[in-house]
Amino acid sequence: MIFRSLRAAVPHLLVLSLSLSLLALPAFADSDSDEDEKKKTMTGVWVTRPAAPFVYQDPDGFELGVAAPVKEITLMRWELEEDENGLITGYNTYYSMDDQGGSQSRGTLCMVGARQGSKVLLSEAYAVYGGFPVPELSTLTIFRFDCEKRGRNKLKCMGDGLSSIPPTVLKAVLVRSKRAGDLIPVPEAAREICQPGA
């Protein structure tokens, strides 16, 4: 009698065990996607290759007091860290000039952002400008980048200035740097302003 009950229960047990094994499959798929996500992280040093062109409406671009568009280029070095939720913090150290080598400017900005899949959005505010710390500007967003990752080591971005600066638009390609100690280090003052105590 017990044997007959067990024999009747076998098909149900098979269905139950098959169902349980199917429920376990998404966990394995999630594990694979977690590994894929780790490969996509923004953590690391990124540099412009080649220099990024940008254009802005200079209030004195034509002559003193007469605005006109001015085209320049910039070299950028982004040092970024992405957490497990896709939130990003870091720094943008840049050097800009016009095509004749004049109108030079440099600085380091605090960066915050987020990544979802291959899409990356970053905002930035000044920490150091012209070699001087400017902590009072570190919470005033001046620029935003809308980027797309192309593989693990390439990033294509469009950037635009916000209302705190003259109208500015930039196109950039950044690549992951393989050199840990890159040529443009983040100034200690910027580290203290952007992420005190980090």
Q: In the prediction, which pLDDT does 104 show? A: 85
- pTM for this one? 0.77
Residue 174, domain extent: 42-194
Domain identity same for 27 and 120: no
Average pLDDT over residues 169-193: 86
Q: What is the pLDDT of residues 13-51, one digit of tens each?
A: 333 333 323 333 333 344 445 445 545 799 999 999 999
Q: Which long-range contacts (CB under 8 A, 24 or more apart) does 135-143 make?
A: 135/193, 138/110, 138/193, 138/194, 140/164, 142/109, 143/109, 143/168
Q: What is the pLDDT of residues 68-110, one digit of tens each?
A: 999 999 999 999 999 999 999 999 999 998 877 777 889 999 9
Domain identity same for 138 and 69: yes
Write out the two tokens for 98: 């016009």
Closest CA to 141 of 164, 171, 158, 114: 164
Domain count, the chain: 2
